[in-house]
Structure formats: C-alpha cells, structure tokens
Amino acid sequence: MSALIERGDGAAAALLRVSLGVMFIAHSVVLKLFVYGLAGTAGYFASIGLPGWLAYAVFAAEAIGGVLLVANVATGWVSLALVPVLAGALWAHSGNGWVFSNENGGWEYPLFLIVVSVAVALQAFAAQRTAAVRHAAKLGGAVQQA
C-alpha cells in the first residue's frame, strides 16, 4: 500500500505540473500568438495601461516556462517565477467580477492558477528534499559499511 501511495503522489504531482505547463503553452502560443497575434496582445496591454513591450515578455515567459514545466526542468523555481505573470492577469481581470465567463473574463481563473503554481512549487521542493534525504541516507549506510 505504501508503494501505491508513493507512486500516486508522484503521478498526481506530474499530472498537475504537466497540466499547468500545457496551460501556459496554450495561453501563450495559441491565444497570444495565433488568436490575437503578438501585436494585438501588445495593443491590449497598452489599452489597459501597461507598456506594449510587456506583452512580448509575458509571451516568452509563458511559452518558455510552460515548456520547462512539461519537461520537469527547475519546476519549483519556474512555477514561482510565473506567479507575477499570473498576478498581472489577476490585476487585468479584477474589475470584471469573479466568474471568468463574464465579459473580458473574471479573476477566479488567474487566482486559481496562482494557487496551482504555488502547489506545484511546493511539491517540487518537497520532492527534492525527499530525494536528498534518501540520497544522504544511502551515503550514510555506505560510509558505515566501509
């Protein structure tokens, strides 16, 4: 039963991490690049009082961060680094009400993604710590045997 729980925990963490990464890839490449275009996205940013160039930085952060999350590269730090992007989305949608289906989208989805990003980071850091403790225990056993 313990092995099943450990595998389930790892599978759940991977599912959450990959889903978050795919969401960032879709939001950047599909929405910002293919649907609105980067110039259109820059125009939207400017229309809400943000510098237009920031759209390109957000696009790059979401696209690269999404790929890194799917690839499980620096997962904890990447998911935390994307929180400011999500906080910006939360700010941009804050005046539109709670539900994302409201006109111009509400703020519950960006808030949910912030929570998911923090959860993915916590899982990644906990997994690194667990792996380090196991490795140290193995080394300790090897030292005692020698």
Give 72-119 as a DSSP string: TSSHHHHHHHTHHHHHHHHHHHGGG-S-TTSTT--SHHHHHHHHHHHH
Res 92 pLDDT > 90: yes
Res 59 pLDDT > 70: yes
Instruction: Please give the tally of structural domains in the chain.
Output: 1
So what's the pLDDT on residue 134?
67
So what's the pLDDT on residue 100?
77
Could you tell me if 94 and 107 are in contact, meaning their C-beta atoms sit under 8 angstroms apart? yes
Res 144 pLDDT > 60: no
So what's the pLDDT on residue 8?
76
Could you tell me if 60 and 29 are in contact, meaning their C-beta atoms sit under 8 angstroms apart? no
So what's the pLDDT on residue 10?
86
Domain, as residue range, for 137: 2-145
CA 124 to the chain's CA centroid:
12
Per-residue confidence at 102, pLDDT binned at 50, 70, 90?
confident
So what's the pLDDT on residue 94?
92
